[in-house]
Chains A and B, each alone.
Chain A
Amino acid sequence: MTESFSQYGAYWMCFLVLTVGLYGMLMKRDYVKKVIALSIFQAAIILFFVIAAYKEGAGVPIFDKEIGAETAAAYINPLPHTLMLTAIVVGVATVGMALALLIRIRRGFGTLDEDKLKEKMKS
């Protein structure tokens, strides 16, 4: 347990953040808090990919004449970072869409609380 924590500590923390986000999305009654949790959740996934790209003692993935192209271990893996650039764009679009829906809900029902909404939707 302690060994896996010292070796994979970053992953443990990342999945802790992920769980916080998941909890908020599923359990919070306020819809704005759900959107905040959604952002936390997506940030955790971005962290996960960035952590996966990290190498001990490696530098930025820009070609360096002194290191040369052969020693790949001297550069960190740039691909997960570029993937996450796309994921950030997707995340922004998702939050934007969620907020647009929230505006419609708020205009229609005057509240963003799940319990009150359920009551108003019954009548």
Chain B
Amino acid sequence: MSSHLPLPVLLTFFGAALFMPLAGLVHRRAPWVVAVAGSLLAGGFALFGLLHVAGHGEVRYSVGNWDPPFGIELVADPLSVFMLVVLAVIAAATLIHSREPVEREVAARPALYYASALIMLGGFAGIVSTGDLFNLYVFLEIAALASYALLGANGPRSAVAAFRYLILGTIGASFYLIGVGFIFIETGSLNIADVRAIIEVVGLTVPIGVGAAFMVAGIAVKFALVPFHQWLPDAYTEAPSSSTALVAPIGTKVAAYVLIRLMLDLFPGERIESALHLREILGVLGAIGILWGSIMAIPQTNLKRMLAYSSVAQVGYIALGIGLGTAYGLIGAVLHILNHACMKSCLFLVSSNLETKGRGVKIGDFDASLRRDMPVSSAAFAVAALSMIGLPPTAGFFSKWYLLLGSYEEGRWFFIATIIASSLLNAVYFFRILERMYLGGGDEPARRERTRGAALLATPAAALAVGLLLLGFGNAYLVSEFIFPIVSGP
């Protein structure tokens, strides 16, 4: 099996999606069972892949036995298996959690909802594991189309937000495709490794430069980097809560993966950087995004909207790490992909719990009754919030620490100031909620009505919160074992 490595994860997601219409006929809850089973199985394959690649080195699989420069190639290298594990873990947590929210919000056809969710996950897995530029575009659109369906499944307001995302997302993906066209015209190849070898010979010609700019700009739209972030807050706020919990932690991270892949594998070296300043632009836009997202998060009255703006800020950290381009910067960026996926997933799961229990997501309505009615969710929220701020034992501290080290090494004082300022701003908007939850009054006695599936709602959020602490403590092992091989290259 190990020679087919990235394929089982993809096949599991797409295969489970194909089973959905059948599962919908069997039983009302069968689609949920299939989705959870599929994501757990995919998670198992991804973990196996992570350990295998760490032990035996990368695996390349030629689809249909067509050799690489001509056929499509799937690649399992340290970066892609790492992303597959992040993807599958978050997917499993969110899908386990999604039973009650989906029944409540998208009651009509759960089978179709779960089918779109699994197609989207399969698309993301495809983006992460393909070694072919055009194939990446196709998976990008598969994942995007499914995510428009997921985000627009909550009545007409969410449809408006999803339509706006569709317009911007299509522009982004199309710009990427134009970039691929320019690269193809100049090099005659679509295989990432092959194109890189050709660029090293022919050097930076005008079409390659134009293509690189188009590709990075297109992916930046999907990445919600700051001037292109307008679609994100509306789409995440109006969507069904379990869609947001599924799309928000993973969607932008996969775009981050594509950017890292482009910068690390396709356009490496100082010659392209000195001509195009792509890394410089990414870093500065990331820094602006960190500040802008954090400032916009403070006045929000809706929890989901606040978390969405904080996503804009957190995406900025990843862009800043990619922009630094040094070992520390990239370690920070990759580690932050993992940490932020866990944190944001945990926070959105709690906000979904609030909606499912009928508490609403207006920050003004939060009070101490929350911690009595939902002790586990509140505790998980507190841990994730502390991690977002970046307090030491939690995971969030370490990725910021690597980014700070990288900025210090390069003498980028503006970046250091940005990271510290944003931690303070994060503290402002998260303590506003923690204060209401843990210090605020609320005299009404605990009304402990049992909600259906309460354990299913609370457990994934709690598991992710514990995971954040474990990631914090196991950080040194994680970085030296799995992340350093990504950065140090083959």
Contacts and interface: CB of A to CB of B under 8 A. Distances in A.
Nearest to B149: A97
Interface residues of B, number: 25
B160 interface: yes
Given A38-B170, A52-B184, A101-B166, A45 B177 contact: yes
Contacts of A105: 156, 159-160, 163
B174 A42 contact: yes
A121 interface: yes
Q: Which of B145, B159, B178 has the most CB of A within 10 A?
A: B159
Contacts of A121: 157, 160
A52 B181 contact: yes
Contacts, number: 73
A48 B137 CA distance: 16
B163 A45 contact: no
Interface string A10-50: 00000000100010011000010010001001100100110
Contacts of B162: 101
B141 A48 contact: no
A107 to B, nearest CB: 7
A104 B166 contact: no
Q: Which of A31, A42, A83 has the most CB of B within 10 A?
A: A83
Q: Which of A87, A90, A117 has the most CB of B within 10 A?
A: A90
B421 to A, nearest CB: 32
A73 interface: no
Contact of B184 (A41, A42, A80, A109): A80
B134 interface: yes
Contact of B159 (A25, A48, A83, A104): A104
Contact of B155 (A18, A25, A108): A108
Interface string A87-105: 1001001100110011011
A109 B137 CA distance: 34
Interface of B: 134, 137-138, 141, 145, 148-149, 152, 155-157, 159-160, 162-163, 166-167, 170-171, 174, 177-178, 181, 184-185
10 contacts: A25-B170, A31-B163, A38-B167, A41-B174, A45-B174, A87-B177, A94-B170, A97-B148, A101-B159, A101-B162
Question: Which 9 pairs between the two chains have the least Cβ-Cβ distance?
Answer: A108-B156, A104-B159, A101-B163, A90-B141, A101-B159, A105-B159, A52-B185, A101-B152, A25-B167
